[in-house]
């Protein structure tokens, strides 16, 4: 039987290092199969980066949890490796936060989309949603919100077609997509109906 000879302070220091370097304690005995007791511990750090610093126009204003500065190169690397980040819109004069939006849909939004869109939403395409991208109908880079009313499942091919060709799309109420071809012809793609009628005993066939 293995006995850990480290002191409690040494163990705490090693756990902090694990959280900073890997996001979860590496000594969790069940980490390879499923998160165990220690695997439930997760490190979260909030880093605020001005978009001008992120794009290389300026080189200041980066903060870790509002208490410590971070150099621009480290901030850009962390932003590039992050699984998701929030876009914060502020008043240019007062600096007051006006809105917060996240590019990556939340887990709840992704579940909703997979339920509403069982396949790619380009007319006629039936590629399963699990193999599709969660696309912003109105591009996020152009102000489109990460909202289920602005998201739809598109396969790689039709996601690329939307961005690289003259096809356009807009989302109507109820999740209906209105595609317009380069020739100007519209095509409507409606979410599949979820109401299914099952015959009762009184409507059974007479045979």
Give me the average pLDDT of each 10-residue run along the chain (207 residues): 79 79 61 56 74 83 81 84 73 71 82 90 92 92 87 94 94 94 94 67 53
Token pair for residue 126? Answer: 């039936």
Token pair for residue 9? Answer: 């302070």
C-alpha dihedral over 148, 152, 156, 159, to 10 degrees? -100
Q: How are strands ordered across the β-sheet holding 63-64?
A: 47-48, 63-64, 68-69
pLDDT of residue 107: 83
pTM: 0.56
The Cα 180–Cα 177 span in angstroms is: 10
Q: Contact 70/64 with Cβ under 8 angstroms?
A: yes
Interstrand relation of 177-180 and 168-171 (parallel, antiparallel or unpaired): antiparallel
Q: What is the pLDDT of residues 133-180, one digit of tens each?
A: 999 999 987 888 888 899 999 999 999 999 999 999 999 998 999 999
Which CA distances in Å does 98 have to 1, 21, 95, 144?
57, 33, 9, 15
Q: Which of 150, 159, 171 is nearest to 122 (CA)?
A: 159
Domain boundaries, the chain: 8-40, 47-102, 107-189
Interstrand relation of 177-180 and 186-189 (parallel, antiparallel or unpaired): antiparallel
The Cα 27–Cα 24 span in angstroms is: 9
């Amino acid at each position: 039987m293995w006995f850990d000879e480290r002191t409690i302070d040494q163990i705490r220091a090693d756990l902090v290092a694990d959280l900073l370097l890997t996001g979860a304690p590496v000594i969790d005995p069940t980490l390879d199969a499923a998160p165990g007791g220690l695997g439930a511990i997760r490190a979260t750090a909030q880093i605020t980066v001005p978009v001008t610093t992120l794009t290389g126009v300026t080189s200041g204003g980066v903060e870790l949890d509002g208490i410590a500065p971070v150099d621009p190169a480290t901030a850009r690397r962390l932003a590039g490796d992050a699984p998701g980040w929030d876009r914060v819109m502020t008043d240019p004069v007062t600096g007051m936060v006006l809105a917060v939006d996240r590019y990556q849909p939340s887990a709840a939004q992704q579940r909703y989309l997979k339920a509403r869109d069982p396949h790619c939403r380009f007319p006629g395409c039936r590629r399963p949603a699990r193999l599709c991208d969660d696309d912003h109908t109105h591009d996020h880079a152009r102000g489109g919100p990460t909202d289920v009313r602005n998201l739809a499942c598109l396969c790689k091919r039709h996601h690329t077609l939307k961005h690289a060709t003259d096809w356009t799309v807009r989302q109507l109420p109820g999740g209906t997509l209105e595609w317009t071809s380069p020739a100007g012809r519209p095509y409507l793609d409606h979410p599949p109906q979820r109401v299914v009628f099952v015959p009762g005993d009184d409507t059974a066939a007479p045979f």
